[in-house]
Amino acid sequence: MKPFFASLTALLLGVVVVFGQGIPRDPYNGAIVVDATTGDVLFEDGADRPGYPASMLKLMTLFVVLDRVEAGYLRLDEIIPVTKEAMRMGGSQVWLDPRESFPVDELLYALIIQSANDAAALLAQYVGGSMEGFVEMMNNKARELGLSPITRFRTPHGLPPGAPNVRHDMTTPRDFAMLCKALLEAHPETLRYTSETRREFRANAQPPFQPMIMETHNHLLGKLPGCDGLKTGWIRASGYCIAVTAERNDRRVIAVVMGSEKRATRDAKASELINRWLPEAKPKSVAKPKPQPEPVQAVQAPEAADEAVEDEAADTPAARRGGRRVVGWLLTVGLVAVLVGLGVRRHLLISR
């Protein structure tokens, strides 16, 4: 079996090399829609094509952090001091400064709403001991969720690698939809972060720091009915990506669109897929059956119970004593009969 798995791994890596450059296409590189309740695939087109998730992968960063909170190793109100390494992250950020400290909860809002790379780096350092340690936690989580070997995380933020020989973060629409479904099931509070469109950061800042207003990159929030998440992503190599979820009439779906050349095209296709397939999802109240009560132990039928009682009565002490009296009476009668018989015989013999 080992040679088989080795060949399979080599084949998958070959697929990544050939198709995994994340080249943006029109309208997308790959897409999928799944029923968030059942996991059923409602639509797929290139769902297994590898691509770069860019900032979409911050959902896995959120997943790992919330896991640690749930396990009791971390608190949402726990204060994290800013590091110089986190401050130096480029791209979208909230301009963290080493003179500042923030609670985990505020950094999670910055991670999702502002898509702040500096917040992602700081959370990773603090939770994982280092960014490398946190990335290992991300990949362990991916294996735990059963994602394919194609999905491989190398950063907690999704920025392109700083060196030419370093690989990008990689995933597929199918894998990422599985991740989103698992995240919503394990941590429904995820929607508290992903549904926000605008939020103040550093609300209580003191000079020289100033509060800033964070605004979401997910332009479907407030426009697509029922949309309450999840996350967008973009780097030049990946094109525009989005993992989006919406709920209407007790139905919820997740759509993942990766590798669009234009943001408008990505958003239009994601909206189209949600509107088309959301009515096909199963209602949550129907798809998730209520827990069944414990089975009631069968009661014995009256006839069987009577038979059992009769069987027990046949072997009571009183019954045994009654039986012995009958046997004794029969033995006595028999003995008298024998004695009478002997007496009669003796009388006859004497008479002769």
Q: How far is CA 108 from CA 63, 99, 133, in A?
A: 11, 19, 19
Beta-carbon-side half-sphere exposure of residue 31 (alpha carbons within 13 Å) = 28
Q: Is 115 a catalytic residue?
A: yes
Q: Helix 117-128 crosses helix 58-70 at what angle (to 10 degrees)?
A: 40
**Which among 2, 84, 101, 115 is annotated as catalytic?**
115
291-313: burial string, b at 16+ Cβ within 10 Å, e else: eeeeeeeeeeeeeeeeeeeeeee
Q: Is 58 a catalytic residue?
A: yes
In the chain, DSSP assigns E strands to 30-35, 41-45, 79-81, 101-103, 198-201, 212-215, 227-235, 239-248, 251-260
**Which among 2, 7, 55, 351 is annotated as catalytic?**
55
Helix residue ranges per DSSP H, 129-172? 131-144
Please state whether beta strands 212-215 and 227-235 pair in parallel, antiparallel, or not at all (unpaired): unpaired
Q: How far is CA 296 from CA 55, 293, 299, 300, in A?
A: 52, 9, 9, 12
Q: How far is CA 126 from CA 7, 83, 97, 254, in A?
A: 38, 10, 15, 30
Q: Is 92 a catalytic residue?
A: no
Active site residues: 55, 58, 115
